[in-house]
Amino acid sequence: MKFIPLKNDGTLDLKAAQELCTRKTKILSVMHVSNVLGTINPVKELMALAHDRGALGIIDGAQSVPHLPVDVKELNCDFLFFSGHKLLGPSGIGVLYGKTKHLETMEPFLFGGDMIKEVSLTGASWNDVPWKFEAGTPNITGVIGLGAAIDYLSALGRDAVAQHGKELVGYARQELAKIPGIKLYGPEEGTAVVSFSIKSIPPHDVAALLDREGLAVRAGNHCAMPLLSKLGVPGTVRASFSVYNTPEDVDVLVAGIKKVQEVFRQ
Ligand SMILES: Cc1ncc(COP(=O)(O)O)c(C=O)c1O
């Protein structure tokens, strides 16, 4: 495995990617939106790079599909996946998109009802895509819940959802930057999340005190230890936004941070 390095502003070093991805590369896998920095990665260009080298291109859409309009055909990815629970849907279910030509050549990895076409005591043949990969009784309630969540977001309008997220992140970055002792991470033009730290106050203390104000933020390494090492901090505080958040929530966050600083007498 080789890793595309990050530039200091939290964006991917695309020049390095060009050199790292060679004719020997089998898969280029990239997250669309960073769950720590909110960076929107240029996945369309990276898919083109993968294909230029004869590799498959895979996109982790866990943080992009809930917040941005995503068109798998336009991105020309071979596979893209996302989780239900980050999209206002149930947990334990997600979506894997794959180009039919790949899915048809892939072997199933789960065996059970519905994924076979014919079975005998000596062999079996697989059902068509997608049933080949849907072994056993499906997660019916999960599918219905996820479908409702997708319909809900689609009815709000994917562009409107993206615009709302962009405005909230822009406003949050602007207001947080005004507080002395705050350090913001990631590029200006991110989506959905804002990561920050407060001078001399451990992130988990910030989160615990904000919690008392009714503010749910996440603190720690956000399952991205190598990134945190690169940032040179053990953890950050992360505020994330969705369709139900408003600019007033940002004001409440700013007031909460000021209270935290008072507790620590900064
Ligand atoms: C970008 C990204 N990919 C994958 C995951 C994992 O998804 P899940 O919680 O469905 O395992 C997460 C968050 O947990 C994420 O932020």
Which of 32, 33, 35 to mutate for ligand 1's pocket (most ligand atoms within 8 Å of CB)? Answer: 35
Burial group, residue 88, by CB count within 10 angstroms (0-12, 13-18, 19+): middle
Identical fold, 14-93+139-156 and 159-263: no
Tell me how far the alpha carbon of residue 62 lies from the centroid of ligand 1, in angstroms: 6
Which ligand 1 atom is the nearest neighbour of the CA of 34? 1
Dist. CA 127–CA 159, nearest whole Å: 37
Is the CB of 64 within 6 Å of ligand 1?
A: no
pTM to 2 decimal places:
0.94
Residue 24 · residue 224 · CB < 8 Å: no
Dist. CA 86–CA 33, nearest whole Å: 13
Domain 14-93+139-156 has CATH 3.40.640.10: yes
Query: What number does CATH give the domain 159-263?
Result: 3.90.1150.10
Query: Which amino acid makes up residue 105?
Result: T
Tell me how far the alpha carbon of residue 125 lies from the centroid of ligand 1, in angstroms: 33
Tell me how far the alpha carbon of residue 218 lies from the centroid of ligand 1, in angstroms: 14
Is the CB of 78 within 6 Å of ligand 1?
A: no
User: Does an H or E element contain 128, and which?
Assistant: none
Instruction: Print pLDDT tens along the chain (266 aa).
Output: 999 999 988 899 999 999 999 999 999 999 999 999 999 999 999 999 999 999 999 999 999 999 999 999 999 999 999 999 999 999 999 999 999 999 999 999 999 999 999 999 999 999 999 999 999 999 999 999 999 999 999 999 999 999 999 999 999 999 999 999 999 999 888 888 999 999 999 999 999 999 999 999 999 999 999 999 999 999 999 999 999 999 999 999 999 999 999 999 86
Residue 65 · residue 215 · CB < 8 Å: no
Q: Greatest CA separation found in the chain?
A: 74
Is the CB of 31 within 6 Å of ligand 1?
A: yes
Which residues, in sequence order, are CB contacts of 249 under 8 Å at separation 6+?
Answer: 168, 241
Dist. CA 228–CA 196, nearest whole Å: 12
Indicate the domain borders of the chain. Answer: 14-93+139-156, 159-263
- The residues facing 68 across adjacent strands are none
Residue 29 · residue 4 · CB < 8 Å: no
Tell me how far the alpha carbon of residue 85 lies from the centroid of ligand 1, in angstroms: 9
Beginning with the edge strand found earlier in the chain, give each strand of the sheet holding 236-240 in spatial order.
182-185, 193-198, 236-240, 218-220
Please confirm whether the linkage preceding 130 is cis (ω < 30° from 0).
yes
Write out the catalytic residue numbers: 223
